[in-house]
Amino acid sequence: MASVYIEQSQEAGLQSDLDALQQLNALDAIRDELRGRVSEVKLPGIVVVGNQSSGKSSVLESVSRVPLPRGQNTVTRCPIQLSVRQGNPFAATVQGGAELTSPDAVSGAIKAKMNELCPEGRFSEDPVTVSIRQPSGPNLTLIDLPGLIAVFDNPNKAFIDSLVEDHLASGISDDNLPVRHGNEVFFQPSEHTEPASALADRKDQHNVIVCVLAATSDWESAAGISYAKKHDPLGERTLYVITKIDVVEPGLRAALDILQFRYLRSKENLGYVLVRNRSREEVDQHTTAEQALEKERAFFAGRNVTPQQLAVSKELRSLPDDRKGTIHLIRKLVQIQHSEIKKKMPGLRKQIDFLIKEDKESLASLATYAEDEPTAQRELHRRLVKATTTFNAVYIGDYGSEDRTEMKVASQMQHRLHGLRDKLWSEIGGRHGEGVFSQDEFAQEIKKALVDEFVPLPNTHNDLPILKQLYVRGQQ
């Protein structure tokens, strides 16, 4: 029976067409190459979010068939890019490290890399990249984010919230071109220009959201569902995954109807899928993925279950089959991924072409490589002369055709010295009699103080030591 179920699993998404797999591999390669420039290129992706203890890690384990880090509180302290590909034999790498030949070794390698990126329990926005070749795995790439924290006074809550916001509000459209203005990249549709941050309201501009909800929790107060509603109010790009269905009391079907009514209002919504993950006891007993899938199937069929589980199972029987089980979750994720890449690849190509063009222009603006020392010396002399000429022009206020006398460096220096002189005269000279210093003496004392103290030009930070020195001299 288990072998039949595994065959169904393979049909769920492992036999992707060659073009889809090549596009997925190309996208992962682009994501790796552009690490450090992620703010400049919006890559389509599937982002997994959920509250702590929502069963998010268990869902990813069921999809990848590889154990992931577990523990109390927040175990995931940075994004984890989980890339699974079908292939033989099993192999895995973490951040391009040594090849791992056992699934049980993956969790420890992820923890080690996470501790390297996030020392002393800190958090990081830099991802840990995990690549898995799995004989019975789907062709999928998911981005797992740290679990959302419900406690408001937790010191890590603000960082995690910001990290999730950034991922849910990122993505690409198939009709927008990037444009750089200063240090910010804009995306320009054919008819107008708007900053990337302003495109947050466009449904085709975002990553797909996989929102994991525990059936045992209060969904209305779940942070994950709040973010999903904020960034996708109609549910057009959010797939809800309901976990812990085997430990919830009867009444789940009514909760699902409310979820459908409130958060999946669009006819094009991605819907929800219910899954039964391995329990803590089953994890400790090393229950295999195949055994867990068989237990899940038995639960939905109402076989070998407790009376409470049977009551819940009966509630769910009227739901379509494609909303029940890990196999259908995998199938749905593969379909969503294929659709997203196909839809957004043209826009991604435009963005990369823009960056290539920009980089080529930057390279062209660099000086020609000097083949010998005399050539290098001539180039250095030319640049020094140019820099000196530019500084002299700025010093005298020569800005080409513009008359901007107030921008002269000399004028600014003189204005600031006069201002400090007047300030000293009113604050010190006036207090100790008109005969302490004359106006000219004040100017001389200012200059002497600047030389003696080796301080920069006077400004609000440098006034105090000069005032103190002149005050002492005024008392002598």
In this predicted structure, the answer to whether residue 159 has a pLDDT above a threshold of 90 is no
pTM of full prediction above 0.85: no
Classify 265 as helix, strand or coil: coil
Task: Give the model's pLDDT for residue 187.
Answer: 39
- Residue 367's Cβ-count burial label (10 Å; 0-12, 13-18, 19+) is exposed
CA R_g for the chain: 32
The larger pLDDT score, comparing residue 34 to residue 472, is at: 34
Residues in the chain: 476
pLDDT band at 36 (very low <50, low <70, confident <90, very high): low
Tokens 């997994």 sit at which residue?
Answer: 48
CB 11 within 8 A of CB 330: no
Q: How far apart are the first and last CA of the chain?
A: 102
pLDDT band at 382 (very low <50, low <70, confident <90, very high): confident
Q: Read off the pLDDT of each residue in 464-470 and give the average, rounded to a whole number.
A: 49
Tokens 């390297």 sit at which residue?
Answer: 116
Tally the C-alpha atoms within 13 A of residue 320's C-alpha that lie toward its C-beta.
Answer: 7
The listed range with the strongest mean pLDDT (11-15, 81-85, 163-167, 436-440) is 81-85
For the stretch 283-341, pLDDT in tens is 888 888 889 999 999 999 999 999 999 999 999 999 999 999 999 999 999 899 888 88
Listed in sequence order, the DSSP H helices in 407-456 are: 409-424, 439-453
For the stretch 183-212, pLDDT in tens is 444 434 333 333 333 333 344 456 889 999
Question: The tokens of 171 are what?
Answer: 């993505």
Look up residue 126 and give its DSSP letter.
S
Tokens 């959302």 sit at which residue?
Answer: 148
CB 459 within 8 A of CB 423: no
- Distance CA(189)–CA(178), nearest Å, equals 9
- Distance CA(123)–CA(126), nearest Å, equals 9
For the stretch 422-435, pLDDT in tens is 766 666 555 444 54
